[in-house]
Amino acid sequence: MAGQATKTKYKAALYCRLSRDDGNVQESPSIQTQKEMLARYAKENGISETHYFIDDGFSGVSFDRPAFREMIAEIEKGNINCVITKDLSRLGRNYLETGAYIEMFFPEHHVRYIAINDAVDTMEQESADFTPFRNIINELYAKDTSKKVKSAKRARFLDGMYISTSAPYGYKKDPSDRHRLVIDERYAPTVRMIFSLAKDGMGILQIRNYINSRHILRPSAVNPNGYGRYFNGEDDPKRYEWSNNSVRGILRNPVYAGHLVMGKRIRPSFKSHKSFSVLLENYKVVRDVHKPIVDPEDFELVQRMITSRRSNKNKPRRLDNIFAGLIKCADCGYAMTLAKAHRSSKEEVIDEYGYMCNNYKTFGKSVDTSHWIEARQLYDCVLADIRKHAADALADNDELCRKLAGQIGTDKAKLEKTLEKELRAKKARLLEVDNLFQSIYEDKLNGKISERNYQMMSRRYEEEQVSLEQAIGELEKQREESGREKSNIEQFTRIIKDYAGIEELSAALLNTLIEKITVGEPREVDGERIQEVKIYYKFIGNIS
């Protein structure tokens, strides 16, 4: 190789790269070590004209690196005809793109490529034949490292550790434990105000305008890792201009109910830098980790209200659908949808509308009947029911409590039986998986299965263990809640009293009191139209 190097005058690029995805290896991969190695190699092989290109802190999976791009530009200008790296992985860990540079770009530009530790020299055919296999191994290493990093983060997340760089607005990291969140009372009142306004029925735009009128610092102006660098000093008015996304991000974030969230965005591949949003219901959540800024029940109420409002935002201006998300068909369980009842205008808009089964509306009589109910009829029915139970609670609270206790007792027994059955099944499967884990470990020690198969099977069993443990936790929580009969009844009677004599309904009121409303198919009895409407209240269900 030394003899070959003296025949051509080489202008060499000594390329160094280092990032966290390179892991720990026996020989230090520091930039200084790489520079010394490359300089020594160039000198020993008679290459005197050299120039360093250094990407410190850039992943080998992507080729969008500043020094690498600069080096490519110099090659295209004809200023470089040799590239030297410590090993192939310094050039890149994406085997397709790395191979394209080594086998196409470099030869087309008459560039010799040398990877010292991998004994790769494109002037020697034998080393070139093995280069593609080394590139594949380097990419597999990067992929494995990515999996290990994700697995480590997931394990810490499931253990209730906060792993993001900065705390969300309204929280700060615990000085004694950077993986725990504590409430930051400088900004927590703003979070509480946002949720309170949402509960009162304000939309995101209205909330944003209200906050902006009060000259409150926006989250990115508070977060040291946010966009503060884009503001022109402390007096920049943009520091106080909230966006719709800022408000929506707070209202939709379960962290304010005391939970930790992971997986709000996903990347399709470890090679990709693009990420995609995930629906709220698909977030990975660890519940009750830190002190909530807002009551968890208020958080869930706001989520239902936002979802209901979002489902109707593109519809033409019409009756405010305060029952959205609550009213269901008693027979098929589908939501009831708001529909126009009369073409002609009525004195009050509510008299122009009614509700029908969405299953019927979509598929017709082959699946269900309309279950049609006038909006005015539903409104009056629900208002009267709330006022009746509120009046009962005011008149004789103890009597109402006794009535509810007797009714709930039967329903509670059925629920507890179901929960116990599911718990036994989940615990039995968890024990079975634990035993399987032990079995495959012994098989690995005895050489009955390969390391690769062991890793594959252990990952699968570990994921199932985590899933089962979470399911068992949820079921045990439901069992505990089902045992709170007395406190649930007392809580309901305490809340319902506040609504005695109410004159009108609102979305916030309905979502505070009611779990769901079912509407039966109307039928005729003795010439009279009869339709059953069941109201299921929170904490206690339907009051018969």
- Find tokens 């070139």 and name the residue: 128
Residue 319 near residue 375, CB atoms below 8 Å: yes
Distances (CA, A) of 294 to 203, 207, 243, 328: 18, 17, 21, 29
Residue of 509, 513, 511, 507 lying closest to 491 (CA atoms):
513
Question: From the CB of residue 71, how many other CB atoms can be counted at a distance below 10 Å?
Answer: 21
How would you classify residue 457: left for phi > 0, otherwise alpha for psi between -120 and 50, otherwise beta?
alpha
d(CA 139, CA 143): 6
d(CA 85, CA 91): 7
Task: Please give the average per-residue pLDDT across 91-114, as a whole number.
Answer: 84
Regarding predicted confidence, which is higher, 381 or 500?
Answer: 381
Regarding predicted confidence, which is higher, 172 or 23?
Answer: 172
Residue 239 near residue 231, CB atoms below 8 Å: yes
Question: Per this entry, what is the length of the chain?
Answer: 544
Compute the C-alpha angle 276/280/283, nearest 5°: 75
Three-state SS for 173? strand
For residue 62, what are its two tokens?
A: 């992507």
SS3 content of the chain, % helix, strand, coil (to 5): 55, 15, 30
Residue 179's H or E segment, with its range, is strand 177-183
Residue 337's H or E segment, with its range, is strand 336-340
**Of 121-125, 410-414, 460-464, which range is least confident?**
410-414
pTM for the structure as a whole: 0.39
| Predicted local confidence at residue 317, as pLDDT | 41
Regarding predicted confidence, which is higher, 82 or 277?
Answer: 82
Three-state SS for 122? coil
Supply the mean pLDDT for the chain: 77
